[in-house]
Amino acid sequence: MLKKFLAVIIVGVVLIAAIGLILPRHVVVKRSVSIDRPASLVYATVNSFVLFPKWSPWQDLDPNMIQTTEGPRDGVGAKLLWKGNDKVGSGTQLITAAVADQSVASDLDFGQMGTAKSTMTLAPDGSATRVTWAVDVDMGANPIGHYIGLTMDGMMGKDFASGLGKLKALVESMPNADIAGFTAQTAELHTTPLLLVREAAAAPADIGKAYADGFAQIGKFMAKNKLHQAGAPMGVDGAMAADNFTFEAGMPVDRADVPGTDNVRVTQSYGGKALKVTHVGPYDRLPQTQEKLRAFIAAHAYVQKGPVISWYVDDPGTTPVEKLRTELYAPID
């Protein structure tokens, strides 16, 4: 009886091992969510690890987790390194491939816990974007690992759903602007004496007239105080609402040694790091470019520390409307 019992056990163990060997070594866990924003905004967010702590489903498992990044700020070569408690462990994630506004692939290394490949795929979903997060986990050659693989979808699926929910909330908090093909370059601005006049307009069509009034006041102030223009006319953004646009018309000058008036303020222009984009075309299309710049800043996790500055490079009196250049600068940390 003992021999028969042992034989049954051995057969059972062999059978379990055999089944384990033919079970899939790789397990794919996949979840999706629809995000009411253009694919370009989602892509910019997931093609970097700067914003990952804001949507990671594992962030709250260890408030003291140490996370650092290496390589470029975004795109292929960007790398995340983390080290935390037993719940999050330690490892690295490296972006290995990226197709603009379509997909981002990365390699995960959990050390002794194994490796995996992650893919974020973006597809049109009406006016929204369908985001699918899939992870291919290598369970190793051990048949026991293959059995554990049968439980991976149940264990990780809820985390993926949670992370995608956080990603949805994050991206939908950003300006609803399509930034496909839109780029902004870092620039360094230097301080210069500046004259400013505060203006307001009730509608976009009134902005030009308000600027003209501001520059007229500045021109009289310059003539009275024998100041000379030292750069292109500019504007500093204020509040932007459907029926209320506030801003300051500005003019760089050669000196700041004169007192201002109730209307004309004498100050220094912003000096420091900024994101720059050049708008080409009519001034009435500037709000769209400014909205894209705000969306770009949000999706790329820059910290804006001041209002957008607009430099009116070309003279609208001598330059065709379609060729008018306006340089926009957003101060950042």
Question: Which of 110, 142, 172 is a domain's end point?
Answer: 172
**pLDDT at residue 319 tops 80:** yes
Q: What is the DSSP string of 202-228?
A: SSGGGHHHHHHHHHHHHHHHHHHHT--
Residue 255 domain-assigned? yes
Which CATH number do you get for residue 197? 3.20.80.10
What is the reported pLDDT for 153?
57
Which CATH number do you get for residue 64? 3.30.530.20
Number of domains composing the chain: 2
Model confidence pLDDT, tens digit, residues 142-155: 555 544 554 565 56
Residues 210 and 231 in one domain: yes
**What CA–CA distances, in Å, run from 198 to 201, 248, 313?**
11, 4, 20
Tell me which residue range forms the domain holding 321.
Answer: 185-331
**What CA–CA distances, in Å, run from 163 to 20, 154, 157?**
31, 15, 10
Model confidence pLDDT, tens digit, residues 155-179: 666 888 999 999 999 999 999 999 9
Under the banding of pLDDT at 50, 70 and 90, the label for residue 5 is low
Residues 150 and 285 in one domain: no
**pLDDT at residue 209 tops 90:** no
Residue 101 domain-assigned? yes
Which among 273, 278, 289, 284 has a CA at the least distance from the CA of 333?
273
Residues 222 and 106 in one domain: no
For residue 211, give every residue at least 6 positions away whose Cβ sits within 8 Å of its Cβ, in sequence order, or none: 199, 235, 249
Write down the pTM of the prediction. 0.83
Name the more confident of 311 and 24: 311
Under the banding of pLDDT at 50, 70 and 90, the label for residue 138 is low
The residue assigned the tokens 């310059």 is: 222
Q: What is the DSSP string of 153-189?
A: HHHHHHHHHHHHHHHHHHHHTS-----TT---EEEEE
Partner residues linked to 326 by β-bridges: 279, 312
Question: Which of 172, 205, 222 is a domain's end point?
Answer: 172
Residue 179 domain-assigned? no
Under the banding of pLDDT at 50, 70 and 90, the label for residue 253 is very high
Which among 138, 323, 313 has a CA at the least distance from the CA of 233?
313
Terminal Cα-to-Cα distance of the chain (whole angstroms)? 79
Residue 14 domain-assigned? no
Question: Which of 137, 172, 207 is a domain's end point?
Answer: 172
Residue 150 domain-assigned? yes
- SS3 helix, strand, coil % of the chain, rounded to 5? 35, 35, 30
**What CA–CA distances, in Å, run from 94 to 47, 75, 85, 91?**
11, 10, 21, 10
Model confidence pLDDT, tens digit, residues 40-80: 999 999 999 999 999 998 888 888 899 999 999 999 999 99
How many CA atoms does the CB half-sphere of 31 hold within 13 Å? 18
**What CA–CA distances, in Å, run from 164 to 57, 128, 161, 169?**
8, 14, 5, 9
Per-residue pLDDT averaged across 128-136, rounded? 94
Residue 158 domain-assigned? yes
Residues 51 and 162 in one domain: yes
Residues 206 and 161 in one domain: no
**pLDDT at residue 32 tops 70:** yes
Residue 13 domain-assigned? no
Residues 64 and 119 in one domain: yes
Name the more confident of 18 and 222: 222
Residue 18 domain-assigned? no
What is the reported pLDDT for 11?
46
Residues 163 and 226 in one domain: no
